[in-house]
Structure 1
Amino acid sequence: MYPNDGFRELDRQECLRLLAKVPLGRIVHTRQALPAVLPVNFCLDKDGAVLLRSSAASELVRAVDGTVVAFEADEVDAVTHSGWSVVVTGRAAVVTDPAEYERLSRMGPRSWAPSPEEVFLRIEPELVTGRELVGGRTQYGVHLNS
């Protein structure tokens, strides 16, 4: 991070608090040795893990189960040129424990595209980073219409 660049680094707790406020994010994984990014709805578990719900037969589930992925969510205000972005990096895994699956079925995210056989993906928050753009262009006396 460059000093005085208008951004403020966020600590882990603040990152998780902000993530809990938004319903959509993006999962970043590898597909055929290239980066792939998919928008997904999600929620956070009590330990800060990112939870996704998807079709058991989906390409996403096959691609990420047991691999390290990144998950990003943000919130931006185009009028004030402000906002934040949080990235969670960690291992993704399909939840296989029946008791855990039952618990997540009650509290976990609801798929926006339901399928007959769904699974939960858990991304363990090994690295959580974030930054906030404070003040945007108005910070330096530049008008928003410039």
Structure 2
Amino acid sequence: MERKDTGQSAGHDSVTQQDRRVRNLDRDEALRLLATVSMGRLVFTQRALPAVRPVTHLVEGEDIVVRLDDGPALTCLVTDPGTPGVVVAYEADVIDPESHLGWSVVVTGFAHLVADAEEGHGSAERLRPWAGRSSYSAVRIRPDVVNGFRLEAEPREAAP
């Protein structure tokens, strides 16, 4: 008897790679999904090399406000007054580890430190720390490019 490899474990009805499809998200849906989670990864340049930090965030309109507890990351994001900021990427996702279904969003744009006047509006105070540090700064990212995709299960055909 020949066994057909379906990519599924015996007795486990999982979604196989052939059962998944990628659907690109439009800007509005990507930002809406980003607002449903509180953590992601900030990608920036540190000493001419890419650096990634896990951070908490919130979405205000189209802006993403991130909490930074890391001193070296802050020094990389300080810009001269009058400049648009530092180019960064921000990524967040929710992918099920079993089925590999879910979504991922990447935002690329200019980041600048949140000024004291902006902190009075409450955005910086609403950012929860992901690690137990009390000292932090907030960074606002103005998205230029918003990309995202959803990994979805293909509908299965009924057996004859």
CA offset digits 1:13-62 (Å, max 9, x no partner): 100111111111000011111111111111111x221111234x711111
**Which structure dedicates a bigger proportion of its chain to helix?**
1
Give how far 1:110 is off.
Answer: 2.3
**Which ranges of structure 2 fall in alignment gaps of 5 or more residues?**
1-19, 79-84
Cα separation, 1, equivalents of 2:116 and 2:43: 25
**1:49 equivalenced with 2:63 (yes/no):** yes
Aligned to 1:28: 43
Query: TM-score scaled by structure 2?
Result: 0.72
8 Å Cα contact 1:73/1:86 also seen in 2: yes
Aligned to 2:92: 73
- Equivalent of 1:96 in 104, 115, 119: 115
Count, aligned residues: 131
The residue type equivalent to 1:48 in the other structure is E
Taking only aligned residues, the RMSD between alpha carbons, in angstroms, comes to: 2.3
**Which ranges of structure 1 fall in alignment gaps of 5 or more residues?**
142-146
The structure whose Rg is larger is 2
After the TM superposition, which of the residue ranges 107-116 and 80-89 deviates more from structure 2? 107-116
The residue type equivalent to 2:57 in the other structure is F
CA offset digits 1:79-134 (Å, max 9, x no partner): 22211110011111011142x21113576312233334x32210111111101111
Cα separation, 2, equivalents of 1:106 and 1:60: 17
Query: TM-score scaled by structure 1?
Result: 0.78
Aligned to 1:9: 24
Q: State, as a whole percentage, how many aligned pairs show the same letter.
A: 41
Q: Moved runs in structure 1, 4+ residues, more than 2 A?
A: 78-81, 104-108, 110-116, 138-141
- Equivalent of 1:60 in 73, 81, 96: 73
